[in-house]
Amino acid sequence: MGRPGQSHIMSSRYNPVTEQVVEELAGIVGAGNVIFGDAERLATFSHDEIPDPSYAHTPEVAVRPAGAEEISRIMKLANRLHIPVTPRGAGSGLSGGAVPIFGGIVLDCSRMNRIIEIDRANMVAVVEPGVITNELANAIRENGLFYAGYPMSLETCQIGGNVAENAGGGKAVKYGVTGRYVLGLEVVTPKGDIVSLGGKLVKDVTGYDLIQLMVGSEGTLGIFTKIILKLLPLPKAAVDLLCLFKTVDQAIGAVPDMIAKTGIIPTSIEFMDAQSVQAACKYLNESLPYQNCGAMLLITVDGADADQVQRDYETIGEACLAAGAFEVYVADNHTTSNRIWRVRQNIPEAFKLVSPQQSGEDIVVPIASIPQIVRGMVELAKKWDVLIPCYGHAGDGNMHTRIVKNPAWTASQWKERLPLILTDLYKITIDLGGTISGEHGIGHKRKPYMTLARSSEYLDICRAIKKALDPNNILNPGKIFDL
């Protein structure tokens, strides 16, 4: 089980997955749902969407259970034999949450993909964790309902992963993040107990809120087998505004008091700096007038009433013009709306073409500090002589960036310097009252930096909770913090 170059991982803590273990697993999930000894298929479970392959680790075995009972038996087996278990959704994560860094068993949730119930009267959906978020969105739309949890990876990601990572996305300004919509969970604990939490209830103070402890715990405290989600009435109208500014300062300066001044809470306020816009437009062969543009804001307004939405977007558009926008495009139909959102959505892909070696970040700061963090990133790019494009969810302070390797650097220079650049970036962020991840999570990617963001007392409490729930450190070990 030794892994070259991964000497910090003491994999000898765990026992290997033997033929006999595989037989036991086959007895639980059926032989057709066990993948073992097939290096190519197992490799698909070794990584998420982090581009750097050094974060990948191949599991010894992957299993595809059908539900809570089977997962319970797997967890009991894993505790008895001391083998680590890593749950996995679509593998669309960005911090390594689904990567089995000590090998062992990967628990693939893809077979648990039923929408169990769409309860229109209570405005909730009951789903299994492997449901693709977009499929849920489509299924409930027919019922006039709306699921407001909206990660940008909507089309591929699974609800279980969204809940495990407490996925955010563009609509958090108005609607909040995934956790707000999780009313209930069926969870298999690290020891293999099946526990029901919450229900179709919007208020519940019957004991500790274990639901929100599970949400965002990155698969380290429990495996979700059923999820009860609160739904909203489907907004009847939505309009997008694309606001072009000459400078970053103008664009970003418009954001902090937009809500406070207008009293309108937009659905999303997305920011793109010039290099992000240019890269995405070139990648898409898009003819937006990006040449004169120092930065863009992409603002969505939605609501139950078309007239109201029109008044709101006019007010917001005027606020942007007053803040210095030289052009405001209104996209009030699906085609135009899709066209401008494609620019925003394709920034990460566009930069992969510029250089495959990069580190995707999702720092978050108080909204009033957005101008400072953007200026900080510009200075950081100069200091280190790298590209640091800046884009993301300006409305909630969650800025995305990619530290893109300077092509002149050798691989070892990059490997040596990236941690220093990240440390700089995180320190600037934390000094502004921010933190190192707003929605992507910690996993093993950001674990080395947790002590920058969190006190030892905070980490001690997290460790105490992890040990209390998972005394053998079986479930997704090595993530977020070391025990």
Dihedral sign for Cα atoms in the order 29, 33, 39, 45: negative
- Report the alpha-carbon distance of residue 325 to residue 380 in Å, rounded: 26
Q: Is the Cβ of residue 329 or residue 481 nearer to a second copy in the bound state?
A: 481
What distance separates the 2 farthest-apart alpha carbons in the chain? 70
Q: What are phi and psi of 261, to 5 degrees?
A: -80, -40
Q: Is the Cβ of residue 62 or residue 177 nearer to a second copy in the bound state?
A: 177
- Report the alpha-carbon distance of residue 350 to residue 278 in Å, rounded: 9
With a CB cutoff of 8 Å and minimum separation 6, the contacts of 148 are: 171, 175, 176, 180, 181, 232
226, burial (CB in 10 Å: exposed 0-12, middle 13-18, buried 19+): buried
Name the minimum Å distance from CB 414 to a second copy.
Answer: 25
Q: Is the Cβ of residue 39 or residue 468 nearer to a second copy in the bound state?
A: 468
Name the minimum Å distance from CB 129 to a second copy.
Answer: 18
Q: Is the Cβ of residue 243 or residue 259 nearer to a second copy in the bound state?
A: 259
353, burial (CB in 10 Å: exposed 0-12, middle 13-18, buried 19+): exposed
Residue type, 456: S
3-state secondary structure string across 89-121: CCCCCCCCCCCCCCCCEEEECCCCCCEEEEECC
Name the minimum Å distance from CB 230 to a second copy.
Answer: 10
Q: What are phi and psi of 317, to 5 degrees?
A: -60, -45
Q: Is the Cβ of residue 25 or residue 223 nearer to a second copy in the bound state?
A: 223
Name the minimum Å distance from CB 92 to a second copy.
Answer: 15
Name the minimum Å distance from CB 417 to a second copy.
Answer: 24
Q: Is the Cβ of residue 124 or residue 279 nearer to a second copy in the bound state?
A: 124
The residue ranges of DSSP E strands in 171-211, in sequence order, are: 182-188, 194-198
Name the minimum Å distance from CB 4 to a second copy.
Answer: 30
Q: Is the Cβ of residue 23 or residue 305 nearer to a second copy in the bound state?
A: 305
Name the minimum Å distance from CB 440 to a second copy.
Answer: 7
